[in-house]
Chain A
C-alpha cells in the first residue's frame, strides 16, 4: 500500500507556484479585454 501511495502522491504541493504564475500572468498580461457578455448570444452558453 505504501508503494502505491508513494507512486501516486509523489508531487510537491504546488499552490505557491500556481498563485505566483497567475499573478505574473496578470501583471504582464493584457487585461483590456472586452468583458461584456453578449446577451443576444446567450444560447451559446
Chain B
C-alpha cells in the first residue's frame, strides 16, 4: 500500500516552552513509516522534536493571540510549500485546520491537494480556555468541519471529561454526523522494580502560565512552608519575560527548579511524598504521571478533568486553599495507608 512521504506537524504557541511541541515530540517516535517529519512552530522548545524543524519567528508587535500565531505559522508553511508537499497534517490548532481548509477549498484560487488533517487536542477548549476570543461561532465552524469533512479528524487525550466535551460539541453542531472523536492513549502504567526513598516534601510541577494556576499553588505552598514543610517547584522552561515574574517566587521559596531534563526531574521530584496539582484542565498529563509512577501522591484541585485522572472516589481532592494545605499534610502523614 502507498505510504506517506511527509508528515507536517504544526504547533503554534507562545515563545516559552509549548506543551504541544513536547506532545508532538513524543508522538513522532510512534509514526509507523519511514517518512520525513517536519515540525513548523514558533515555540521555543522546538529542538526537542525528533525530525526536521522549521522555526517561525512570530511578529510580536502584531498580535499576541493564538489565532494570530497560528495564522503566521500556517502561512509560513504555505510559503515554504510544505502545506502542499505534506501527505498528512497534524496540528493542535483549530485555527490551523480552518486556515488549511480555506487554502484548500476556498475561492482564493489557491488549490492544495486533499490530505488527512488530524487535530490533536491536548485540552478541549472550554470556558475561559477557548482558542477563539469570540465564543461560539468560529469554534462551531471547526466542529462542523470535523463532522462533515472526511479528511478532518479530531483526537482528544484519553480522558472521559475531555472526550465527552468534544463529543458534545460535535453532536451539537452535527447531530447527524457519523464521524467519531478519537482517543489518544499516551501512557501505560508499568510497575517499577523499586521506588525512591521518600522525603517529607510537597512538590508542584508545570509551566508558569495561567491554566496551571501557579498563583493558587504559591499561596498553598507558602502556608505549607510556614508550617515547616519542605516545598519545591519544578518548571520545565520559562521565557525571558516570565522569568522576571519568578524573581519574587525565588525570593519566597528556596527551591525553584527551572529546565531540568526528564531524568533530573524524576530524580529531584520523584522522592517527594506529595504532588500538589492546581491545573484548570489537563488531558493525560505526562509530567504528573511520571511522578505518580514513582509513588508521589497527588492532592488535586477539584476540576472536571480530574475525575478520570485518578478515577472516581480519589480521597485527596480539595475545593479551597485551606483544604489543600490540610490534605497535603494528611497525605504526608498517612501515605503509607494510601500506597499501594
Contact = CB atoms under 8 A, between A and B. Distances in A.
B153 A22 contact: yes
B104 A35 contact: yes
A32 B99 CA distance: 20
Interface in B29-49: 30-32
Contact of B118 (A4, A12, A19, A35): A19
Nearest to B88: A23
Interface in A6-22: 6-16, 18-20, 22
Contact of B182 (A1, A8, A18, A30): A18
Interface residues of B, number: 50
B144 A44 contact: yes
Contacts of B297: 1
A23 B188 contact: no
Given A1-B339, A35-B104, A15 B27 contact: yes
B1 A27 contact: yes
A16 B137 CA distance: 33
Given A13-B187, A13-B188, A45-B140, A8 B114 contact: no
Given A19-B31, A22-B153, A33-B150, A3 B340 contact: yes
15 contacts: A1-B340, A4-B311, A8-B189, A9-B189, A11-B158, A14-B185, A15-B30, A15-B31, A16-B32, A23-B4, A25-B116, A26-B116, A26-B151, A27-B2, A31-B114
Interface of A: 1-16, 18-20, 22-27, 29-31, 33, 35-37, 44-45
Interface of B: 1-4, 27, 30-32, 88, 90, 101, 104-105, 114-116, 118, 137, 140-141, 144, 149-151, 153, 155, 158, 173, 182-189, 191, 289, 292-293, 295, 297, 308-311, 314, 338-340
Given A16-B32, A19-B118, 6 more contacts: A4-B310, A4-B311, A12-B185, A22-B88, A23-B4, A35-B104
